[in-house]
Structures are given as C-alpha cells and as structure tokens.
C-alpha cells in the first residue's frame, strides 16, 4: 500500500496517485551516453529510495498528480492505463493496476474530474485517458476536458497514418535530429476516443494561461512539443516537470538524455531551462518518474544545481 501524500500550493492541494514502481533500472540503459565511472560517482549521492545500494540499479516511479482547487478537480498526466497493447514494452503491456481505486481512496471518482492536463502524449502519460469497456476504448473521465498540445496530437496522428507527413511536422519544430520515435498504438487507444467524444482541447504551447492559473511552458525535446505545466495560487508556484528528467541523477548531469528522448539536442536545452526556471521561481517541483516522494525543490550554485526531496 502506498501512502497518500498531499502538498499545498496556495489554495490548492496536490496528491500523488501511484501507478507503477520501476525498481531495477540500469543506468547504462536509461542513459546510453553516460560513462560508468560518472554514473557511479553521481548515484553515490542518493539514498536507497532512488538507488539500490546493493546493485546500483535506479529506482523510478510512474504516477499522476491530482490537483484540487476550490473550483476544480484536475489530473496532470494519466500514467499508463490498463489493458493497453504494448508488447514492445512488457512492463506496460496489458496492465491490471488498481489506479482508479487509488483515485477513489483520495476522495475522487472518475466522474468528478473536471480537467486532464497532459505534459506530452507518450504512453505512460496518457494511458488512463481511456479504459476498456465491452471491448471499446471509452473516456475514463467522462465529464473532463482533456487539454494537450495540438502539435503533439498532429505528430502522433501523422505517425499513425504512416503517410510521411510527420517529416514536415518535425521540420517545422526545428528541434534537431530525431533519434527515438514515440511508441505506436497510443494515438489509437488513448487519444482518438477522447477526440471522438468531443472532450479534447488542443492548445499552442506558448506559456500563456490555459485555465485557472495553469500555463504550458515550452520544453520540447523529450517529445516534439513537451510542456512543463506551471501552476500559481496565492503567489505560490508549482511546476509539473513531465519528462524533462527521468531520475534525479540528471540534476547533476543535464547533459545525459534518457533513451526515450526523441530529440536529444533540444532535450538537453529544455532540461537546463527547467532547472533554471524552478530555481528562479522557487517552485515546488512535481516530477513524473522520480521515486520517493517524487516532489522536491531545485537550488542553484553557480552553474550547478541540486535536488532536495520534500
């Protein structure tokens, strides 16, 4: 059983909704550009919640963030989802996790969710958008507006169509070389059903307020139009990092891209930007793949940064 931990940001509360633990992650796989000596040096700074001392393997998490304001119930990213066909990623394949039961334990039913905000459209961030009902993918949160980048959606649609139009979208994004495509099948089972139900709202990721204190801040690279989502309430700030980082090792080594980053040059730049922004705004940072509490703060000393879990 995972304890329910809630944080306060102004008038809002933020609660972690756990889905999956990833306890045996080899750093040489996750960060293919990192040398073994550097990995050993950097991981020595972390406790057993983030690094298994006996094996040196990294610990990660997959989860969503539940934000409750006086007016709304909001989910930020929706993890991996049950029953999805992901044969190329066995840990995601045909899951049967009690995620909705955990949501109910936090006091929220699927029908209570008003907004679903997505940092990007990868498999482990949009999976619970839908659930399988009598053989059909149906919106999990039937009363919610699902908000995401229009460019991300167009790119996923182009890749799904396999008509070559994805190249033009990549060229327009000007992110440098693409080295890792997004996982197939996500558009069909986790996006099309909510679009078809009229629940989707596509936006331009430009930093402007999208709804009630939430802004999508450009941080492309991990995906073609990845956004960090900022939230401000009564002068207090939260920053939902999405996948600019996958483990706190990258705080010391922002030059390390994960194996899942689609556009590595842009991902490095966005990682540094995200840490600068978090430090300058003194934001409480909510990550998607750090283990332990998954929340913390960034501090800066010269050109180096430090992470502290809260």
Query: Tens of pLDDT along the chain (310 residues)?
Result: 466 789 999 999 999 999 999 999 999 999 998 999 999 999 999 999 999 999 999 999 999 999 999 999 999 999 999 999 999 999 999 999 999 999 999 999 999 999 999 999 999 999 999 999 999 999 999 999 999 999 999 999 999 999 999 999 999 999 999 999 999 999 999 999 999 999 999 999 999 999 999 999 999 999 999 999 999 999 999 999 999 999 999 999 999 999 999 999 999 999 999 999 999 999 999 999 999 999 999 999 998 999 999 9
Q: Which residues are registered as beta bridge partners of 130?
A: 139
Q: Which residues are registered as beta bridge partners of 216?
A: 229
Residue with tokens 């139900």: 197
Q: Which residues are registered as beta bridge partners of 238?
A: 231, 284
Question: Under 8 Å CB-to-CB from 213, ≥6 apart: which residues?
Answer: 69, 231, 232, 233
How do beta strands 236-242 and 284-287 pair? parallel
pLDDT of the residue at 5: 84
At 87 the three-state DSSP class reads coil
Is-contact 73 66, C-beta < 8 A?
Answer: yes
At 142 the three-state DSSP class reads coil
* Half-sphere exposure for 36 (CA within 13 Å, toward CB): 1
Q: What sections of 93-142 are H helices per DSSP?
A: 99-105, 123-126
pLDDT of the residue at 4: 75
Per DSSP (E only), the strands in the chain are 6-9, 12-25, 58-68, 73-76, 115-117, 130-133, 136-139, 145-149, 200-203, 209-211, 214-218, 227-233, 236-242, 284-287, 295-301, 304-309
- Token pair in block for residue 240: 């939902």
CA distances 287 to 56, 60, 64, Å, are 22, 10, 9
Helix axes 150-161, 166-173, angle to 10 degrees: 150
Q: What angle do CA 98, 87, 92 make, to 5 degrees?
A: 30
pTM: 0.97
Is-contact 76 240, C-beta < 8 A?
Answer: yes
- Token pair in block for residue 237: 């700030």
């Amino acid at each position: 059983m995972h304890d329910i931990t809630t944080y306060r940001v102004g008038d809002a509360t933020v609660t972690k909704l756990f889905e999956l633990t990833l306890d045996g992650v080899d750093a040489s796989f996750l960060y293919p550009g990192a040398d073994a000596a550097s990995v050993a040096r950097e991981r020595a700074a972390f406790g057993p919640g983030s690094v298994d001392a006996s094996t040196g393997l990294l610990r990660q998490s997959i989860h969503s963030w539940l934000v409750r304001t006086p007016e709304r119930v909001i989910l930020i990213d929706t993890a991996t989802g049950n029953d999805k066909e992901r044969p190329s990623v066995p840990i995601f394949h045909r899951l049967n996790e009690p995620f909705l039961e955990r949501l109910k334990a936090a006091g929220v039913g699927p029908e209570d969710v008003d907004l679903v905000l997505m940092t990007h459209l990868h498999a482990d961030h949009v999976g619970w958008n839908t659930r399988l009902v009598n053989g059909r993918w149906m919106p999990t949160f039937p009363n919610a507006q699902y908000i995401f980048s229009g460019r991300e959606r167009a790119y996923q649609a182009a890749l799904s169509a396999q008509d070559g139009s994805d190249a033009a979208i990549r060229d327009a994004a000007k992110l440098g070389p693409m080295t890792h495509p997004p996982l197939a099948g996500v558009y069909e089972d986790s996006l099309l059903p909510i679009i078809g139900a009229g629940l989707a709202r596509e936006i331009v990721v430009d930093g402007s307020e999208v709804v009630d204190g939430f802004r999508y801040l450009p941080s492309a690279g991990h995906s073609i139009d990845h956004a960090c989502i900022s939230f401000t309430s009564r002068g207090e700030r939260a920053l939902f990092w999405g996948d600019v980082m996958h483990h706190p090792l990258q705080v010391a080594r922002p030059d390390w891209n994960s194996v899942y980053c689609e556009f590595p040059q842009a991902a490095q730049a966005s990682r540094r930007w995200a840490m600068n922004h978090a430090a300058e705004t003194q934001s409480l940072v909510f990550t998607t793949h750090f283990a332990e509490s998954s929340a913390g703060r960034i501090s800066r000393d010269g050109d180096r940064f430090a992470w502290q879990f809260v």
